[in-house]
Amino acid sequence: MAQIELSAIRKSFDGTDVLKGIDFHIADGEFISLVGPSGCGKSTLLRIIAGLEPQNSGEVHIDGRQVDGIRPSARNLAMVFQSYALYPHLSTFDNIAVPLRMRRLSAIERLPLLGALLPSRRAKERHIRADIEGIAEQLDITPLLRRKPGQLSGGQRQRVAVGRAMVREPLAFLFDEPLSNLDAKLRVHMRAELAELHSRLKATFVYVTHDQAEAMTMSSRIAVMMGGELIQAGTPAEIYNEPGDIRVAEFIGSPKINILPGRIRKDGGVDVLGTTLKLTCNAAAGDCRIGVRPERIELGTGPFSGTVVHLENLGAEAFVHLAVEGTGSRLIARLADVRHLPAMASPLAFGFASETVRMFDPAGKRIELRVEQAERVREPAHV
């Protein structure tokens, strides 16, 4: 339905830069999640796309048309707010009808008493009613159409807000943390519903969240924002496996990726916790940081040793917190088999495969690594 092109968007509030030059292309029909810690400017960026907030510089194009200075409603986007923002004095039906009435009825037809008498209004109202009933059917809110927002539960309000967005068939949907006011169980349920809605409508979704689980499970691409900059965008797997920046690596993934201090030698080898890894890099000698995901840590064998300081058994999986011997470092390992948990305070050897290592320079940028051939499990076929 629509592609959205952001170029060099900058925004400052009272002299502080909130967005520092965002360039981003959102393709037609994509489900983009904007994630990042609180205060990084996600909502501001969404509001700039919506037209609710003017940017200081930069351009927004929707379907190739520059929309800067165009009223929010004329951009033909729909937005679902964190607080749902339903009109408290209107019934569910009237709430969903507002965008349709504003578009389809003339100013005279909208007049409170006089308008209702016009025959043209009655014909249009019939269409509006039909449209709303269709939407209500899809969202399963038909029994709620006569209720006021105050009489709805959080999940129901959320659905009504989505209905109000859907009914006008916008070019794109903008969501600002729509699930964060729901309890955990309902959140998981609504996650599936929204993903399903996206595949049904095939519309462009821009979805702001600071919940990385939502971003990972629903989106076709994730854009990670930090401190007013968009630092990486890619599919959930790319963002998870190939983070370009240590902040991305740390933000995505739960529990957090393990970061260990390392050192790059002059010959390109890498030392971590007194052990030399079987990999090399081209970076200059000096300090670096090594990232290994908890599920990549193998317990029981390996060159490192630590002590179990804490155990978290979640039933299906367990997390083992280790204090690494001889250093202050702590790390977390995921254990898929909860039947064989190590004892508390017991010493434990551990290791990880070289190709699971992600390395970052002191500024946090990713450093490319070459895994030494000997480590490769499968040789590339030359024959």
Ligand X SMILES: Nc1ncnc2c1ncn2[C@@H]1O[C@H](COP(=O)(O)OP(=O)(O)OP(=O)(O)O)[C@@H](O)[C@H]1O
Tell me which of 75, 159, 187, 210 binds ligand X, using CB under 6 A: 210
Residue from 2, 22, 35, 40 that binds ligand X (CB under 6 A)?
A: 40
43 binds Mg ion (CB under 5 A): yes
Q: Does 87 bind other proteins (CB under 8 A)?
A: yes
Helix axes 119-139, 92-104, angle to 10 degrees: 130
40 or 132: CB nearest ligand X: 40
- Cβ 225 to ligand X shortest distance, Å: 7
Contact positions with ligand X (CB under 6 A) in 44-63? 44
Tell me if 13 contacts ligand X by CB under 6 A. Answer: yes
Judged by beta carbon, residue 179 or residue 297, the one nearer Mg ion is 179
Which of other proteins, ligand X, Mg ion, none binds 65 (CB below 5-8 Å, type-dependent)? none
Q: Which is nearer to ligand X, 39 or 54 (CB)?
A: 39
- Give the residue with the Cβ less far from Mg ion, 35 or 252: 35
By a kind-dependent CB cut-off of 5 to 8 A, residue 73 interacts, out of other proteins, Mg ion, ligand X, none, with other proteins
Which of ligand X, Mg ion, other proteins, none binds 85 (CB below 5-8 Å, type-dependent)? other proteins
Rounded distance, CA 67 to CA 77, Å?
11
Label each residue of the chain as H, E or C: CCCEEEEEEEEEECCEEEEEEEEEEECCCCEEEEECCCCCCHHHHHHHHHCCCCCCEEEEEECCEECCCCCCHHHCEEEECCCCCCCCCCCHHHHHHHHHHHHHCCCCCCCCCHHHHCHHHHHHHHHHHHHHHHHHHHHCCHHHCCCCHHHCCHHHHHHHHHHHHHCCCCCEEEEECCCCCCCHHHHHHHHHHHHHHHHHHCCEEEEEECCHHHHHHHCCEEEEEECCEEEEEECHHHHHHCCCEHHHHHHCCCCCCEEEEEEECCCCEEEECCEEEEEEECCCCEEEEEEECHHHCEEEEEEEEEEEEEEEECCCCEEEEEEECCCCCEEEEEECCCCCCCCCCCEEEEECCHHHCEEECCCCEEECEEECHHHCCCCCCCC
292 to 331, contacts with other proteins by CB under 8 A? Answer: none
Number of residues that bind other proteins (CB under 8 A): 25
Q: Does residue 71 belong to the site contacting other proteins (CB under 8 A)?
A: yes
Alpha carbons 366 and 363: distance in angstroms, whole number: 9
Q: Min. distance of Cβ 33 from Mg ion in angstroms? A: 13
Q: To 10 degrees, what angle do helices 154-166 and 119-139 make?
A: 130
d(Cα 110, Cα 107) in Å, to the nearest integer? 5
Q: Give the residue with the Cβ less far from ligand X, 228 or 291.
A: 228
**How many residues of this chain interact with ligand X, rule: CB under 6 A?**
12
Integer angstrom CA distances of residue 149 from 125, 138, 181, 323: 22, 19, 15, 51
The one segment of 24-32, 88-96, 118-126, 312-320 that binds other proteins by CB under 8 A: 88-96
- Binding-site partner at residue 368 among Mg ion, ligand X, other proteins, none, CB < 5 to 8 Å by type: none
In the complex, the smallest distance separating the C-beta of residue 132 from other proteins, rounded to whole angstroms, is 14
| Residues 129-158 as x/- pattern, contact with other proteins by CB under 8 A | ---------------------x--------
Site for other proteins in 29-58 (CB under 8 A): 47, 50, 52
- Among Mg ion, ligand X, other proteins, none, the one that 102 touches (CB under a kind-dependent 5 to 8 A) is other proteins
Q: Which of 2, 6, 43, 161 binds ligand X (CB under 6 A)?
A: 43
Q: Is position 89 an interface residue for other proteins (rule: CB under 8 A)? A: yes
| Interface positions with other proteins (CB under 8 A) | 47, 50, 52, 71-73, 77-79, 81-90, 98-99, 102-103, 150, 164
| Interface positions with ligand X (CB under 6 A) | 13-14, 18, 36, 38-44, 210
